[in-house]
Structure formats: structure tokens, C-alpha cells
A and B are shown apart, each in its own frame.
Chain A
Amino acid sequence: DTAVSQTPKYLVTQMGNDKSIKCEQNLGHDTMYWYKQDSKKFLKIMFSYNNKELIINETVPNRFSPKSPDKAHLNLHINSLELGDSAVYFCASSQDPGEETQYFGPGTRLLVL
């Protein structure tokens, strides 16, 4: 009965590969987010989706593309992985964008070699 789940928990891959991280929420929320937490623990929002529409797109490389097949899922696809992509990626969800509490997933630790 996990509220926000992510797979995989750990991902180790080589530069240049393409990988996806999946996120699912069973809270019935309308908005989902992806955050990147760097090695210094700094959290920065990457994307958010509200009712299958992208409403925030921060200055992230276009190698990163969020994909939302339905309201309960927001997957993150990354093309041509680079060393600097190594980080922990957190998915989150909230009922409304910004004004409500966000609930976070357990994170996916990505290591690019």
C-alpha cells in the first residue's frame, strides 16, 4: 500500500546509454513531479505533470523526457546518459500543483560510469 513508488531503486549504467525510471502513485493525486538530488543533497525540481499536461519544465537538458501514460504514472526517460546525471531522482505527487503537500517516493539512485 505504498503511496508513491519508484523503480528501480538503484540503477548503474554506462555513459551514452538510455534508461527509464518509473513512478506510480496510488493517492489519486492530480499532479506528479520529478526532482533531482545532487551529491550535496540539493533538491531541484525537474518536471511536473498535471492531468497529463506538462506545467513546469525547468532548465533541464532535453535528454530528459517525462512520460505520463495516465494520471497515476509519471516515468522519466533519459537519453545519452552523462556522468553528471549521477544523482538520486525523486518522484512526488500532490493533489494540486504547489499548494498542497507533496508526497515523495523512495528515490532512485542513478550512477553513470
Chain B
Amino acid sequence: AQSVSQHNHHVILSEAASLELGCNYSYGGTVNLFWYVQYPGQHLQLLLKYFSGDPLVKGIKGFEAEFIKSKFSFNLRKPSVQWSDTAEYFCAVTALTGANNLFFGTGTRLTVIP
């Protein structure tokens, strides 16, 4: 069975600091990878996704993520965070075989201090 691990449960940063959130998945086959963000009191929104091609993908609001197949990782990065980035971030994976479920990690809460 697939699983998604986000090792950082809560990250606290000052504005302008750089961000990297870890995401590892366990599945040996071909996968699609996603990062979703949930702002306080709001629904999930897609930040970025990787299906194929360039392993470095750029999303909205200055976020990017790098797919490293050998490490089963899809870490999220942003060079300079803003207070408005305070939110819960979810990594998600879906395999391209079987039932094609979307599996979510447990989420990382990011708090940005002005």
C-alpha cells in the first residue's frame, strides 16, 4: 500500500526566511505528485503538481518542488516566505495503476511570523 510521509509537523519561520518542507512516498511504480495548501478556514487548493518531464516544477505564489525519484521525495520550497503563506501544506500521491487513490500526507503546519 502507498503511504506519504511529511516529517515536519509544524514549522515556524520569520518572514523572508527560506522554506523547505519534506515529502517522501512509498511506492515503486509511476506516480503523480501534488502539493496542496489549506489556508486557515479555507478549502484545499492546488499549489503545484508533477506528472512527468522536468522534475523541478514551479507552482503558484513562488513555490516550487523537486521530484527526486531515487529518494522517493517531492520536497516543497520557497526562497522567501511571507506572512500570508501561513497555512497547512499537504503532499499527495497517486499511483497510475490500480484504484488511483489520492493519498495525502499528514500535513505540515507553517507559521510565518511577521
Interface set of A (CB-CB < 8 Å, partner B): 33, 40-45, 55-56, 58, 90, 92, 97-99, 101-107
- Please give, as numbers and ranges, the residues of chain A lying within 8 Å of B104 by CB-CB distance: 42-44
Known: A42-B107, A98-B95, A99-B32. A104 touches B44 (CB 8 A): yes
* Number of chain B interface residues as a range: 20 to 34
Quick check: is B99 within 8 A (CB to CB) of the other chain? yes
Candidate in B46, B94, B101 with the most chain A CB atoms within 10 angstroms:
B101
Q: Which chain B residues (64-114) contact chain A, with CB distance < 8 Å?
A: 88, 90, 94-96, 99-104, 106-107, 109
* B49 lies within 8 A of A101 (CB): yes
Other A-B pairs beyond A44-B104, A98-B32, A98-B94, 8, CB < 8 Å: A41-B38, A42-B107, A56-B99, A56-B101, A98-B102, A99-B94, A106-B43, A107-B43
Measured CA separation A19–B20 after assembly (Å): 41
- For B107, what are the chain A residues with a Cβ–Cβ distance below 8 Å? 41-43
Tell me the B31-81 residues at the A interface (CB within 8 Å).
32, 34, 36, 38, 42-46, 49, 51
A98 to B99, CA, bound (A): 8
Contact at A104–B45, with CB atoms within 8 Å? Answer: yes
8 Å CB contact of B102 from A42, A45, A105, A107: A45
Question: In the bound complex, do residue A105 and residue B100 qualify as a contact, i.e. CB atoms below 8 Å apart?
Answer: no
A101 x B46 contact (CB < 8 A)? yes
Cα A41 to Cα B105 in complex, Å, equals: 10
How many Å from the CB of A25 to the closest CB on chain B?
13
Q: Which of B34, B43, B96, B101 lies in contact with A45, CB distance below 8 A?
A: B101
Minimal beta-carbon separation of B51 from chain A (angstroms): 8
**Chain A residues within an 8 Å CB radius of B32:** 98-99
What 5 pairs across the A-B complex have the smallest Cβ distances? Answer: A98-B100, A104-B44, A43-B104, A106-B43, A41-B107
Shortest Cβ gap from B78 to chain A (Å) = 20
User: Residue on B with the closest CB to A43?
Assistant: B104
Between A and B, 16 residue pairs with Cβ closer than 8 Å are A41-B88, A41-B107, A42-B104, A42-B107, A43-B44, A43-B90, A55-B99, A56-B99, A97-B100, A98-B32, A98-B94, A98-B101, A99-B96, A101-B34, A101-B46, A104-B44
